[in-house]
Chains A and B, each alone.
Chain A
Amino acid sequence: MSDPRTPLLHVEHLCKEFPVESGIIASRMSSKKVHAVNDVSFDIYPGETFGLVGESGCGKSTTGRCIMRLIDPTSGLVEFEGRDVGKMGRRELKQLRRDMQFIFQDPYASLNPRMTIGEIVSEPLIIHRIMPNREERLAFVRELLDVVGLNPEHINRYPHEFSGGQRQRVGIARAFALRPKLIICDEPVSALDVSIQAQVLNLLTDLQREYGTAYLFIAHDLSVVQHISDHVAVMYLGSMMEYSDWKTLYDEPHHPYTQSLLSAVPVPDPDIQRSRRRIILRGDPPSPIDPPSGCLFHTRCPIARPHCSEEVPALDRVAPGHFCSCHFAEPDPIKDSSVKL
């Protein structure tokens, strides 16, 4: 996706399959596989936010894990600053993870309950031997806690003494401790209350502005992704359906799946909610073990034609910087239709 700048992260034809049968022999003999991620390509530029949206099971988290090599992709290329992540050895991977950090969804499960928040936030510094001097390190951790909006005096408290939103701030402080270039945020606000969600989103935006960190923002909530992202990719059953900058995607969604996702988001405004056109998809997403032939979305698509079940549509360019994988894609400005009565 042409852009004169050098991407920080380059992902090309990324695929990840999981064997369905467990056990060494059974998993190799069986041809049944879950196609969790299927031919996903995108670039993330320094200081930008790339949003990945989709319903549960669409492979968005698996994509994030493959990029960090928490799991090994089946095929495809992941390049970080021009270096192939798949070919990295132990030492290089350690360096990579200094530049690439992770923020997890569940602020309850992602913090060790037996460590104080000071220990949690300083652990990356210890692992990467950045500040060997304990006093210096603790002073830095205090500063970090202050930056993310926690009281530095609480450095010796344990995670259970904090609320969900505060714990997520601890997770953010830990991710920022190494001043990474890219942070993979996997549903960082979906476990939080609305009022707290807004606090954390603003914090992430402020930190990005200050440190120039790029984010891969994975979420199922379209309005949150729209709010924070520069570019957005919509995934369905492991494949990318549509990709563009945030404004185009929300103003002129081409793919019928994007259109239906946008129209399904409840708008907290009865006038708009009652009057706008709604596309309610029928049925459930198909199983990724046995994905539909042709276009993956054709079983639920409101505009599907016979051809859709035969040929897989390519991710074609519909406008500069706007890609869509549909045989019959047409712009359908949901926004305009939302105000038509």
Chain B
Amino acid sequence: MFGFGRKGETGDWVDLKSQPVPEGRHLLEVDDLKMFFHTQDGVVKAVNGVSYTLDRGETLGVVGESGSGKSVTSLTIMGLIDMPPGRIEGGDVLYRGRSLLAMSEEEMEHIRGNDIAMIFQDPMTSLNPVYTIGRQLSEGMMLHLGYNRQQALQRSVELLRMVGIPNAEQRVKGYPHELSGGMRQRVMIAMALACDPDILIADEPTTALDVTIQAQIIELMQEMQEKNGNAIIMITHDLGVVADIADKIMVMYAGQPVEFGTADEIFYSPIHPYTWGLTRSIPDPIMDEKKPLTPIKGNPPSLVSTALGCAFAPRCPYATDRCRSERPPTHVTGTGHYARCHFAHDAAFVAANAPATSRTKGRPERVAEAVTRHAEGGEAS
């Protein structure tokens, strides 16, 4: 809140954002991160070996069902997990070459909002109902950028205008309940972008919104990224949401990334049976006749259970005895596309079982043709 007496003063803290990324490093590197919760019922392995890298201007889509650990991963990065019951059991998170896990709470306060900002699913509960929108927007700027109240309010108006809120001068004096869900999510985006962060983590930002509003918010996030060059981590359960904005996608299951690759690899040449299952579960948006869906059998596993083999084996239609007894290794392809499956390296198995995509089906043919043309044209020039 206000009155910390730290206005305009950042002490001897060096703003990491202004530092160059060390040679050979990425903006954000998550390396084999493990976050377990120690509860009465046992150890909940919420995040169990997550690795990825992210650079400025990139968008990472994190896809998974509820309880797959996708939110806990980003909360861990932000240092927002209560410890205990949480405990980091291994791995590291490097931001511009500095370990976030090793930072003190005071240092993390400089990171949160300033370098890495986050927006949440429910814009009503993440805004404080008793403070004006302007005051909530100003808070971060006064803390991190050393603005006084006047400057911060002025900047708030600009930010609201930037995210497409009409009547911004009046709105800064208003309260969150006066806004619709979509407008509140715009305020959240404005707040997250206030200090021009390097990384914007969006945790299911459109799940609570209607489709037409969802389209607006995704468009806004893309616009803002083009303008500011920030990286985005988009957490969602909906493969469709990340289809046109993600550069890379990580599919999570039971606390583990089961597959990771570029958006093209995940959508057009997925190699993990869980990714296949997710794709098959979605009703085909362009269908000519009714066909039953192919759901994934069974229910998501409890994260407490310490099954020996692959976490997906109980629901996997291709599981063998080996899958049930032996943890699958990570199979990495030449392009960095990886999957945790005993059969991921088996091209014949993948070809025989992967779902047909619009590219393999040749439907819509015109798209495939055009893409080829585009690729050829791109190479020629």
Q: Interface residues, chain A, CB within 8 Å of chain B?
A: 55-56, 163-166, 193-199, 201-202, 205, 220-224, 226-227, 247, 260-261, 263-275, 278, 280-282, 284-285, 335, 338-341
Contact = CB atoms under 8 A, between A and B. Distances in A.
A266 B278 contact: no
B281 interface: yes
Q: Which of B182, B292, B357 has the most CB of A within 10 A?
A: B292
Contacts of B287: 226-227
B85 interface: no
Interface string B268-281: 00000000011111
A275 B370 contact: yes
A238 to B, nearest CB: 15
A227 B267 CA distance: 21
A194 to B, nearest CB: 5
Nearest to A227: B283
B281 A269 contact: no
Nearest to A197: B281
A280 B281 contact: no
Contacts of A339: 364, 366-367
Contacts of A199: 295-297
B212 A260 contact: yes
A273 B295 contact: no
A236 to B, nearest CB: 10
B211 A269 contact: no
B293 interface: yes
Q: Which residue, of A55, A221, A224, A280, has the highest number of chain B Cβ atoms within 10 A?
A: A280
Counting from the closest, the 9 A-B pairs by CB-CB distance are A266-B240, A198-B295, A339-B364, A195-B296, A227-B283, A55-B210, A198-B281, A193-B65, A268-B239
Interface string B283-300: 101111010111111011
B277 A272 contact: no
Contacts of B376: none
A272 B300 contact: no
Contacts of B283: 201, 223-224, 226-227
B285 A267 contact: yes
Contact of A280 (B219, B292, B357, B364): B219
B212 A281 contact: yes
Given A340-B366, A341-B367, A272 B299 contact: no
12 contacts: A193-B65, A193-B300, A194-B238, A196-B295, A201-B293, A271-B371, A272-B367, A278-B215, A282-B216, A335-B286, A338-B364, A339-B366
B68 to A, nearest CB: 9
Contacts of A261: 211-212
Contacts of B295: 195-199, 202
Interface in B334-371: 357-359, 364, 366-368, 370-371
Contact of B364 (A197, A223, A272, A281): A272
Given A193-B237, A280-B216, A341-B366, 16 more contacts: A194-B65, A198-B280, A198-B295, A198-B296, A199-B296, A221-B211, A223-B285, A266-B214, A268-B239, A271-B359, A274-B244, A275-B370, A281-B212, A281-B216, A285-B210, A339-B367
B66 interface: yes
B38 to A, nearest CB: 22
Size bracket, chain B contacts: 35 or more
Central interface residue in A199, A268, A273, A275, by most chain B CB within 10 Å: A268
B292 A272 contact: no
B152 interface: no
Given A270-B267, A271-B358, A271-B371, A264 B211 contact: yes
B371 to A, nearest CB: 6
A220 B370 CA distance: 33
A281 B205 CA distance: 18
Given A195-B277, A280-B216, A284-B183, A55 B211 contact: yes
A143 to B, nearest CB: 21
Nearest to A280: B215
Nearest to B281: A198
Contacts of A194: 65, 237-239, 278, 281-282
A266 B243 contact: yes
B299 A165 contact: yes
Contacts of A281: 212, 215-216
A247 B286 CA distance: 10
A266 B241 contact: yes
Contacts of A266: 214-215, 218, 238, 240-241, 243-244
A42 B325 CA distance: 56
A166 to B, nearest CB: 7
B9 interface: no
A280 B237 CA distance: 22
A284 B180 contact: yes
B116 interface: no
